[in-house]
Chains A and B, each alone.
Chain A
């Protein structure tokens, strides 16, 4: 008997379309019948309402059968269920009123039904396709989940940085807030520890006894194998990581370096690092994703002769080179300000600096590389940059900046490379500068090549004896 009920429940997604179609059609006919041309439609309204009501009742019953199988977000299910039932009730009322020829009341029934059907239908869609399904595929800006960047695998949290992203990618589709197949959720620590309808899924320290892991290593043709056939499968690398996580105690809060690492793990950890480091080299660009910059602003700056473009095809950060621009105008300053969040590399060699330009640059808070060598920047103007904390490369070669001016930037703690050649700052202050910018490699330049006697000597063929 239970199997028949379950089977009946599975027909719910099919049956629901009957009342939706029939009732909407009834409402349409009802509406049209007020026009003189379609006045004759009135006689079929009772019939369509009756069929619609029957279909609604049928879908309610199948829906109830399906809901008893669990696996759905309870809150959404609650609303969907009761709204669905109310659709059925209202349509029955509708039949009743057509019989009694209570036109005014029927009007209200039709309007209410119209609203109810749309809401119930949407909630039903949410249950099967997940939250936000309506806008997901049509939205032009796809929200792409970014895997956390692992720069130092040893410093990463095993669960949060390595395991959770695997579960999110391969399991959340059926085992999270949206759906709970097998009454199992894997999206928080608590749910994972709670397990599913067959009990707990992780036996700490024993992957081979843990259902979570056992189902993954089952033969892929086995019907209990996870993820199910046709869904993206766990890779060998991910399998080894999951096994290691469970075997080492299934901790949620430990770092990689706190756990013993079997030899099979080391190459995977370095691979994790490489995968993420390769496209994004060190600290050239903030890790945080950013929205695309306004193309109109970019075009406008280009028109002024500035070479401005994305640092790479896969990034929204910008590089701007003012090599052919000797002087900025108010418009240019404003454009720099507007694009400030996106500009990470700024090249302005030999620029005639104004305080307006310096102020505009102070809005570029993503800036990591600033080349203003041989520019006319003054100590006062330099002070505007004191909050550009991401700067790690600063080129002040050939400027009039003094020691006092430079020390105003003491908050730029990320400074890695500082070029001070041909400026008013001299070598003997390097200790103080180093103290202010402890991470920085300070280059005063002034390099020379030695004059060697051999430089100008020409080796000749020895004379013949």
Chain B
């Protein structure tokens, strides 16, 4: 036995004997009483007052699979978020009338009382910078920027009149993913994992993959667990090098010793939990266990090298190179393995037109080429594997883009770009019990405001939960003295797109 191990054993012995000394007893008496008093004073503060009102959080295994409220059609979700907000006017919302107004001053009626992120003074209207065609039997309008997606239009339900009340990226992304524009709420993936647990005990229930060179503006809070036990937060996997850092055993430690040390740590944690009942301890224990299992399962599932050549060709993936396409293929693999919620963020959709990479006729086209083939391949691949009807695929940004050309600081800009727009934008859903080839909601003739079928982030969240078998009003968690839910006090299931 090495010198280090002897030292560890000695420390362990001291720690164990500590529990039975007189001094320790008095110390614990004191702090225990203190905690009790504090608990009663601070009821509703943090974990002292947190309560699981769904009856789901089990002390032994918080990630254990659980049944939903009613029978849901979808068993997992792949959420494709285009961080930065893609332009609906160049992708799905075809407005021929806007073309006629191209280059004209924006009418005052559209500007009065409105606030924009960057537009100042009177901007010019900007016609659609893409060629549109009607696709499939459903006749959905999809531009030539997405030629592959156009071939699967009949699988998709479009939401053409989504609205938000946040025109900055961070708050808008938080609203989309946590139901609140402010920090601190659990993300939708965390809610789903809290509600359903994980089907595969070797993998986390909620995995996050990012691409485009940056994390979303709202930071990691968009896949955080908020006030839910932190075991439900998204596990971010890197797309280059080791998917999860520090997952390998250090040199000289074999798997048996690793197991023995985790068992010892968890035994100590269990004693502490018995004493303080802090669910975060359970979360930590579960995460140790999960990490141990992930040492085997993650390298396997996160490896796309073994996929056949035709799959790589279909998705346009290149193993070893970080890309959105690789993430999409990984998403399919994860869902196939029983992961509940896979969240993809692709950064770089903020088409302001400040330079070529953010111009709606240059940078946006390139971004579209990066996602078009992989997303199409994902829908087709899920379908041929018999997984599409139990996997809900959601696509969208955090808001839309203006029908006016951005004039940052009141000056005309060298590239064609659009400002943030909250009043109408397009998202879509497919699979998981969603209608095939349908469209809900309409915008006015220039795509400025929604005129029918308005839906909000909360409505989309209610619908996603509904497809998984949850009543969004009943999936709650008590924190700080009141019950919280993903949709706050809002949300309506968009039955118009439910099959």
Interface residues of A (CB under 8 A from B): 278-281, 284-285, 305, 307, 309-315, 321, 323-324, 349, 371, 373, 393, 395, 397, 417, 419, 421, 443-452, 454-461
Q: Can you spell out 30 A-B residue pairs with CB atoms less than 8 angstroms apart?
A: A279-B71, A281-B73, A281-B433, A284-B71, A307-B65, A307-B199, A307-B201, A312-B69, A312-B72, A313-B69, A314-B69, A315-B67, A321-B199, A349-B336, A373-B385, A373-B386, A393-B386, A397-B386, A421-B384, A445-B384, A446-B384, A447-B380, A447-B384, A448-B310, A448-B314, A449-B315, A455-B373, A459-B365, A461-B362, A461-B415
Mark contacts of B52-79 with chain A using CB atoms, 8 A cut-off: 1 yes-contact digit, 0 otherwise. Answer: 0000000000000111111111000000
With both beta carbons as reference points, the residue of chain B lying nearest to A418 in the complex is identified as B386
Residue numbers in A under 8 Å from B433 (CB-CB): 281
Give the nearest-CB partner of A450 in chain B: B148
Closest to A279 in B: B70
Sorted nearest first, the 10 A-B pairs with minimum C-beta distance are: A445-B384, A461-B356, A419-B386, A447-B380, A395-B386, A310-B67, A279-B70, A312-B71, A307-B65, A323-B338
Shortest B497–chain A CB gap in Å is: 15
CA distance A451 to B71 in the complex (A): 40
> Which of B67, B202, B316, B361 contacts A324 (CB under 8 A)?
B202
Inside 8 A of B469's CB, which chain A residues have their CB?
Answer: 312
A397 to B392, CA, bound (A): 20
- Would you give the shortest CB distance from A323 to chain B, in whole angstroms? 5
In this complex, the member of A323, A395, A444 whose beta carbon has the largest number of chain B beta carbons within 10 angstroms is: A323
Q: Does B238 contact A (CB under 8 A)?
A: no
Residue B366 is within 8 A (CB to CB) of chain A in the complex: yes
- Which chain A residues border B68 with CB–CB below 8 Å? 312-313
- Determine if B389 is an interface residue (Cβ-Cβ < 8 Å): yes
How far is B357's CA from A224's CA once the two chains are assembled, in angstroms? 79
Q: How far is the CA of A247 from the CA of B384 in the complex (A)?
A: 53
Cβ B199 vs Cβ A315 within 8 A: no
Q: How far is A243 from B151 in the complex, measured between Cα atoms in Å?
A: 52
Chain A residues positioned under 8 Å from B310 (CB to CB) = 448
Closest A residue to B379 using CB positions: A447
With A443-B383, A447-B384, A460-B362 in contact, do A307 and B67 touch (Cβ < 8 Å)?
no
Write out the residue numbers on chain A whose beta carbons fall within 8 Å of the beta carbon of B182: none
Known contacts A305-B201, A454-B369, A458-B366, then 11 further A-B pairs from the complex at CB < 8 Å, ordered by chain A residue? A279-B70, A280-B70, A307-B201, A311-B71, A313-B70, A371-B386, A417-B389, A419-B384, A419-B385, A445-B384, A449-B151
Q: Could you say which residues of chain B place their CB within 8 Å of the CB of A421?
A: 384-385
B230 within 8 A of A: no
CB <8 Å contact, B338 and A307:
yes
Task: Compute how far the CA of A145 lies from the CA of B422 in the bound complex, rounded to whole angstroms.
Answer: 49
Question: How long is the Cα–Cα vector from A231 to B151 in the complex, in angstroms?
Answer: 59
Question: In the complex where A313-B70, A324-B201, A455-B316 touch, is A447 in contact with B383 (Cβ < 8 A)?
Answer: yes
Q: How far is the CA of A455 from the CA of B145 in the complex (A)?
A: 10
How many whole Å from B26's CB to the nearest CB in chain A?
A: 42
A310 CB contacts on chain B under 8 angstroms: 67
Smallest CB–CB gap between B9 and chain A, Å? 32
Closest to A397 in B: B385
Interface string of B305-328 (1 = CB under 8 A from A): 000001001111000000000000
Given known contacts A309-B65, A309-B67, A417 and B356 CB-to-CB distance under 8 angstroms: no
Across the interface, which residues of A come within 8 angstroms of B369, CB to CB? 454-458
Q: B71–A443 contact, CB under 8 A?
A: no
Q: How far is the CB of B408 from chain A (nearest CB, A)?
A: 18
Give complex CA distance A421, B415 in Å.
Answer: 47
Q: Are B381 and A447 in contact (CB under 8 A)?
A: yes
B383 touches which of A285, A445, A448, A460 (Cβ 8 Å): A445
Whether A324 lies near B200 (C-beta < 8 A) is yes
Bound: A446/B310 CA distance, A: 9
Residues of chain A with a CB closer than 8 A to B66's CB = 309
Residues of A with C-beta under 8 A to B151: 449-450
Do residues B71 and A315 form an inter-chain contact, with CB atoms below 8 A? yes
Q: How far is the CA of A124 from the CA of B35 in the complex (A)?
A: 59
- How far in angstroms is the closest Cβ of chain A from B387? 9
- Bound complex: CA A449 to CA B147 (Å): 10
Contact of A312 with B373 in the complex, beta carbons under 8 Å = no
Confirm or deny: B377 has a beta carbon within 8 angstroms of a beta carbon on chain A. yes
A312 to B365, CA, bound (A): 44
Complexed CA–CA distance, A395 and B390 (Å): 13
B71 touches A417 (CB 8 A): no
Shortest distance from the beta carbon of B71 to any chain A beta carbon, whole Å: 5
B482 at the interface (CB under 8 A from A): no
Instruction: Tell me if B199 and A323 are in contact (CB < 8 A).
Output: yes
Least CB distance from A295 to B in Å reads 14
| Cα of A451 to Cα of B99 in the assembled complex, Å | 31
* Measured CA separation A419–B385 after assembly (Å): 7
Residues of chain B with a CB closer than 8 A to A349's CB: 336
B443 at the interface (CB under 8 A from A): no
| B373-A449 in contact (CB<8A) | yes
Chain A residue at minimum C-beta to C-beta distance from B372: A455
Chain A proximity of B307: nearest CB distance (Å): 13
With a CB–CB cut-off of 8 A, which chain A residues contact B376? Answer: 449
Q: How far is the CA of A278 from the CA of B471 in the complex (A)?
A: 11
A417:B373 contact, CB within 8 angstroms: no
Q: Note all chain B residues with C-beta closer than 8 A to A417.
A: 386, 389
Do B385 and A445 have beta carbons less than 8 Å apart? yes
A443 with B386: CB separation less than 8 A: yes
Q: Provide the bound-state CA to CA distance between A458 and B310, in Å.
A: 23
Instruction: Verify if B100 is at the interface (C-beta below 8 Å from A).
Output: no
CA distance A285 to B68 in the complex (A): 15
Complex: A460 Cα to B369 Cα, angstroms: 13
- List residues 414-443 of chain B with CB under 8 A from any CB of chain A: 415, 433
When the two chains form their complex, are residues B383 and A280 in contact, meaning their CB atoms are under 8 A apart?
A: no
Which residues does chain A contribute within 8 Å of B338, judged by CB atoms? 307, 321, 323
Q: 8 Å CB contacts to A: which residues of B443-488?
A: 469
Give complex CA distance A457, B381 in Å: 24
CB contacts (< 8 Å) of A447 on chain B: these are 314, 380-381, 383-384
